[in-house]
């Protein structure tokens, strides 16, 4: 038995290629993977930047390669890991080290969400349960013990960080976001939870502006031709359109400032620029451009990468612990199979022995507890040494011993029951022994 994973992520694939890899919803993907008879457990992680399939079973590498082919994705964009490499990858994903934005928090919530979905669906058993629980725990630990998720590294979130730093706080302030494209969305998402009094969204296409306002749930859409009117009420304006010309001119800002007493912060993150450079010369106005934000995001990224080294040390330590716990789990399962099998035989033999005693000596059922106690003691003493050896084999990574025990007592290493011929051969081998016992 082994664990493996298939990865299609932003590192090798485009957004379109990642989306094509979905081929239906989460449950459909799970159904398709779990239809392979050699796969016992499965978990799937779907985000805008990655599609990942985790499996536990036999012949996992071959299965995942075949599944990737059925997904219709080119081989150049896939990665497949096995055993320790799979576990390390998942810990890195949950910790934010594999994200496009190093240290981002959203991925940890997504790992939790898909772990819970897998549990609900029933495709996550005790192995992947242990693995994903550990990944979530490590993701939290990395964020608690390092500053890997501190400091904005995208231009959109850096704009919000700069506004907060310049104004002291955004709580109770009024802000306007001009532009509802990708950059405007990043700004809106970053600013939505800053407890502002009001957020305005202005976009040349009103419908797109409305969609963004609904997405963040706390914004008011304003007509694009009334930007100047609403700027009078704002403390900060962040402009991120794709217009080929200036959206905010010096003349417009001068008229705005004539109607207000408080200073105004304007942040221009558009390329080409939305704001005339001369706007920064208007009294009471502070103007920042994308160049200022690049310095902030670059410095924050350097800080996060330094913290990433600390995160990797945590992951290394936790990975060793996870490997040990998986070995213990594997040994425990093998030992359990052995004892269950012994218990099954014990019950059969007790009944057979009691029937013989009853027929020959007329003993009643009061003797059964004594016979069972003797049988339990015999089994415990007889299996003590194999139990110790199995645990030692697991600690030493001797999977062959574990697999042999699983095959003998669990129905075969691939989870499929042994053939009827094998069962018949075993019964035939046992028959003479029982016959001899009967004669004595």
Residues 412 and 12: their CA atoms lie apart, in Å, by 38
DSSP string computed for 115-142: HHHHHHHT---HHHHHHHHHHHHHHHHH
**330 to each of 82, 132, 268, how far by Cα in Å?**
17, 16, 57
Of 336, 394, 323, 316, give the one whose Cα is nearest residue 142: 316
Token duo for residue 44? 């799937």
Distance of CA 173 to the CA centre of its chain: 36
Phi, psi of 344 (to 5 degrees): -60, -45
Q: List, by residue number, the catalytic residues.
A: 48
Residues 281 and 169: their CA atoms lie apart, in Å, by 24
At residue 337's C-alpha, the angle toward residues 402 and 356, to 5°, is 135
Of 20, 62, 61, 57, give the one whose Cα is nearest residue 37: 57
Residues 86 and 397: their CA atoms lie apart, in Å, by 17
What is the SS3 string spanning 210-246? HHHHHHHCCCEEECHHHHHHHHCCCCEEEECCCCCCC
SS3 411: coil
Distance of CA 43 to the CA centre of its chain: 9
Q: How many other C-beta atoms can be found within 10 angstroms of the C-beta atom of residue 439?
A: 5
């Amino acid at each position: 038995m082994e664990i493996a994973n298939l990865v299609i992520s932003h590192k090798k694939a485009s957004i379109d290629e990642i989306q094509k890899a979905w081929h239906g919803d989460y449950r459909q993907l799970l159904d398709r993977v779990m239809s392979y008879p050699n796969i016992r457990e499965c978990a799937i992680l779907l985000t805008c930047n990655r599609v990942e399939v985790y499996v536990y079973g036999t012949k996992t590498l071959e299965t995942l390669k075949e599944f990737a082919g059925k997904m219709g994705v080119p081989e150049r964009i896939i990665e497949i890991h096995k055993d320790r490499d799979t576990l390390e990858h998942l810990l890195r994903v949950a910790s934010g080290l594999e994200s496009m934005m190093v240290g981002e928090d959203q991925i940890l919530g997504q790992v939790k969400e898909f772990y819970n979905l897998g549990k609900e669906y029933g495709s996550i058993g005790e192995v992947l349960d242990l693995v994903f629980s550990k990944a979530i725990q490590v993701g939290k630990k990395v964020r608690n013990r390092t500053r890997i998720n501190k400091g904005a590294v995208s231009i959109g979130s850096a704009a919000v960080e700069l506004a907060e730093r310049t104004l002291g706080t955004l709580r109770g302030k009024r802000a306007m976001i001009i532009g509802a494209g990708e950059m405007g969305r990043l700004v809106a998402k970053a600013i939505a939870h800053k407890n502002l009094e009001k957020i305005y969204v202005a976009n040349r296409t009103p419908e797109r502006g409305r969609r963004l306002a609904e997405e963040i749930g706390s914004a008011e859409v304003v007509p694009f031709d009334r930007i100047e009117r609403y700027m009078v009420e704002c403390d900060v304006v962040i402009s991120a359109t794709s217009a080929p010309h200036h959206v905010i001119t010096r003349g417009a800002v001068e008229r705005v400032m004539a109607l207000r007493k408080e200073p105004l912060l304007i942040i221009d993150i558009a390329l080409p620029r939305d704001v005339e450079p001369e706007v920064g010369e208007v009294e009471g106005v502070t103007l920042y451009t994308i160049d200022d934000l690049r310095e902030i995001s670059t410095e924050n990224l350097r800080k996060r990468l330094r913290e990433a080294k600390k995160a990797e040390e945590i992951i290394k330590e936790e990975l060793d612990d996870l490997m040990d716990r998986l070995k213990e789990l594997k040994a425990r399962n093998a030992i359990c199979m052995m004892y269950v099998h012994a218990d099954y035989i014990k019950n059969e033999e007790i009944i057979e022995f009691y029937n013989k005693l009853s027929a020959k000596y007329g003993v009643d059922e009061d003797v059964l507890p004594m016979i069972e106690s003797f049988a339990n003691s015999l089994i415990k003493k007889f299996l003590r040494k194999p139990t110790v050896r199995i645990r030692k084999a697991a600690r030493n990574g001797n999977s062959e011993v574990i697999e042999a025990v699983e095959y003998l007592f669990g129905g075969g290493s691939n989870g499929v029951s042994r053939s009827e011929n094998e069962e018949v051969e075993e019964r035939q081998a046992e028959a003479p022994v029982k016959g001899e016992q009967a004669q004595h």
